[in-house]
């Protein structure tokens, strides 16, 4: 089974690239993030023609996640256990954002997650990010009660180590690399999950995100923030994992590349 995660940065804008990639890479299950569309506006027909069922969770122009599957799609769950909301400066009340969706696909349980960015240290969105990560940890712990292969995949907006950014000096006092964020990843792992690290292909560190500006992709000034965490039943089945840099090349692409995991399931 081939499982992938990809922050597409607007499924509407990237649809031609997404459909081409689905056709050529042939994943059985795909976790998508940053749909930037309401669930009912997802291009179900277009991906359905390629054989995919879809569980989408989105409310409009921001956020949004989905699971696509060719191997069955059951037990869909939208939202984390006791998931916190966020109150924007211009909002009257706190709102829960569409950042997590789960499904069981061919016997494998997957969560597609889009962790809040955090914006800047000390911002209310940063505090929201840490609360959200607490809810993710609690949800993962609940899911781990079942013996099936299980994984959390997505855009975590956290670089696990200093080596996972192109120049740590450029990130002084910034989100994505703070001790509190990394402790949240450690807490997630302590539930019984471990990271599936992509096999480096062209470069020593398999970055997954490159800013559109300043020629960051050609210069490989990237970050590794799209991650896969699995339970032992998942990780022991992994045969290969890599970042598909080809999907980041050219015009009209996302600023993220897909992370692909190949499993050999008994």
pLDDT-derived band at 266 (thresholds 50, 70, 90) equals: confident
CATH of the domain at 165: 3.60.10.10
119 confidence band (pLDDT: 50, 70, 90): very high
CA distances to 68, 153, 191, 248 from 33, rounded to whole Å, are: 11, 10, 23, 15
Residues 228, 261 contacting (CB under 8 angstroms) = yes
Strand 194-195 relative to strand 226-230, pairing: antiparallel
Question: Which pLDDT value is given to residue 38?
Answer: 97
Per-residue pLDDT tens over the stretch 203-258: 999 999 999 999 999 999 999 999 999 999 999 999 999 999 999 999 999 999 99
pLDDT given for residue 238 in this prediction: 98
Total count of domains within the chain: 1
Eight-state DSSP code of residue 197 = P
Cβ neighbours for 175, distance < 8 A, ≥ 6 positions apart:
117, 118, 119, 120, 121, 126, 129, 157, 181
How many whole angstroms separate alpha carbon 258 and alpha carbon 154? 10
| DSSP 3-state of 151 | strand
Q: Maximum distance among all alpha carbons in the chain?
A: 51
| Three-state secondary-structure class, residue 65 | strand
* CA dihedral (235, 236, 237, 240) positive or negative: positive
User: For residue 138, what pLDDT is reported?
Assistant: 98
- What's 165's DSSP letter? B
Instruction: Report whether pLDDT(88) > 90.
Output: no
Separation of alpha carbons 121 and 181, rounded Å:
10
Report the pLDDT averaged over residues 11-21: 98
Q: Is the pLDDT of residue 60 over 90?
A: no
Q: How many Cβ atoms sit within 10 Å of the Cβ of residue 111? A: 23
Q: Using CA of residue 237, residue 243, residue 247, residue 253, what is the dihedral sign?
A: positive
pLDDT of 89 strictly over 90: no
66 neighbors 112 (Cβ within 8 angstroms):
yes
Chain Cα centroid distance, residue 148: 20
231: domain range?
Answer: 2-263
Mean per-residue pLDDT over the chain, rounded? 97
User: Smallest Cα–Cα separation from 89: which of 33, 128, 136?
Assistant: 128
Tell the burial category of 11 from Cβ atoms under 10 Å away from its Cβ (0-12, 13-18, 19+).
buried
């Amino acid at each position: 089974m081939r499982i992938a995660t990809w922050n597409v940065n607007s499924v509407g804008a990237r649809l031609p690239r997404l459909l081409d990639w689905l056709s050529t890479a042939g994943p059985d299950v795909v976790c998508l993030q940053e749909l930037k569309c309401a669930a009912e506006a997802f291009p179900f027909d277009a991906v359905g023609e390629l054989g995919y069922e879809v569980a989408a969770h989105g409310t409009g122009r921001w956020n949004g996640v989905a699971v696509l599957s060719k191997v069955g799609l059951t037990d869909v769950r939208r939202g984390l256990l006791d998931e916190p909301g966020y109150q924007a400066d211009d909002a009257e009340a706190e709102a829960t954002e569409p950042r997590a969706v789960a499904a069981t696909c061919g016997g494998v349980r997957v969560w597609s997650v889009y962790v809040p960015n955090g914006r800047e240290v000390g911002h209310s969105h940063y505090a929201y990010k840490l609360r959200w990560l607490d809810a993710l940890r609690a949800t993962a712990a609940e899911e781990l009660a079942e013996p099936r292969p299980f994984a959390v995949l997505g855009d975590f907006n956290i670089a696990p180590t200093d080596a996972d950014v192109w120049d740590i000096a450029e990130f002084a006092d910034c989100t994505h690399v703070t001790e509190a964020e990394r402790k949240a990843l450690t807490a997630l792992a302590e539930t019984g999950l471990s990271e599936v690290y992509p096999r480096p292909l062209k470069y020593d560190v398999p970055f997954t995100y490159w800013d559109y500006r300043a020629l960051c992709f050609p210069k490989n000034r990237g970050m590794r923030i799209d991650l896969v965490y699995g339970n032992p039943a998942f990780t022991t089945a992994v045969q290969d994992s890599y970042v598909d840099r080809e999907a980041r090349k050219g015009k009209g692409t996302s600023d993220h590349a897909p992370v692909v995991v190949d499993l050999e399931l008994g």
